Amino acid sequence: MAIFIGEHTRLVVQGITGRDGSFHARQMRDYGTRLVAGVTPGKGGQTFDADVPIFNTVVDAVEEAGANTSVIYVPASFAADAILESADSGIELIVCITEGIPVADMMRVMPYIEERGCRLVGPNCPGLIVPGICKVGILPGQIVLPGRVGIVSRSGTLTYEVIFQLTSAGIGQSTSIGIGGDPIIGTDFVDCLRAFEADSETDGVVIIGEIGGTDEQTAARFVSENMTKPVVGFIAGQTAPPGRRMGHAGAIISGSEGTAEEKTRAFRENGIAVAERPADIVDALQAVV
């Protein structure tokens, strides 16, 4: 069992004929993901690598190839419409890798996503991976290890680092998910924590936050009030100066609530063991799981 993706996933790649789309389509397929279709408007009827049909629209990929999950590798100026197209087609899970989507575009997208009842992961995220079974996105498959620890992170590169640290220590992962660091995202910490709590094959969770916003504080309260499984946390950006954006569009401190200090305090006050450095996560996790 895993959260959001698994053996049931039937993937369509939006932008499959582009540089990034084609490269990662092969990576996902080679990892074991069931890649059933690609979409590039105007190239319907062609094939990708001789065996994956390309369609003009996502609805065609759903109706003719049975796709239930989409991953988006299209430029930012077209990404919002790509999300809307997937939602309109009946896709259950949409993973948007694209970064740089304007906030105004995401404000238009989110009500439609909620109305359609589908799940969006991202944008500006590395996606998800279930070790040995399925990956959707750009997470490197060679560093993961099957196991029983869930990972949810706002930072892509820190996700890789923490996976590598756990794998090196022989601690496997059930599902790893990068939710993205933009101000407006489709799936947040609480969504993932709730799913991990319900997953019978996850024994503990690592949550990786960063400066900016109050999502980590909200997640901390959820852990305290709703989770029975142990949670270990880390907050990136501890030396960031107030008012300066660090990396992600959402990683900007405004007032006191978005600081690493405030988020770390919220974690500790709500029963989350906090690692001071990514390298300390293994020890912190072994102490509670």
146 in the same domain as 110: no
**Range of 15's domain?**
11-121
57 in the same domain as 159: no
Confidence of residue 79 (pLDDT cuts 50, 70, 90): very high
- Number of compact structural domains in the chain: 2
159 in the same domain as 40: no
198 in the same domain as 70: no
Give a yes or no: residue 222 inside a domain. Answer: yes
**What residues are annotated to the active site?**
248
265 in the same domain as 205: yes
- Per the DSSP assignment, residues forming a β-bridge with 161 are none
For residue 114, report the phi and psi dihedrals to the nearest 5 degrees. Answer: -65, -40
- Give me the CATH number covering residue 197: 3.40.50.261
pLDDT above 60: residue 256 = no
- Per the DSSP assignment, residues forming a β-bridge with 152 are 177, 207
Q: Which residue has the higher pLDDT, 211 or 136?
A: 136
b/e for 270-285, b at 16 or more Cβ within 10 A? Answer: bebbbbeebeebbebb
Rounded mean pLDDT, 239-243: 58
Output the DSSP codes for 160-187: HHHHHHHHHTT--EEEEEE---SSS-SS
Give a yes or no: residue 226 inside a domain. Answer: yes
pLDDT above 70: residue 245 = no
Q: Which pLDDT value is given to residue 257?
A: 62
Q: Which pLDDT value is given to residue 258?
A: 79
Confidence of residue 212 (pLDDT cuts 50, 70, 90): confident
Confidence of residue 251 (pLDDT cuts 50, 70, 90): very low
Give a yes or no: residue 134 inside a domain. Answer: no
Confidence of residue 66 (pLDDT cuts 50, 70, 90): very high
Query: Side chain identity at 148, as an amino acid letter?
Result: R
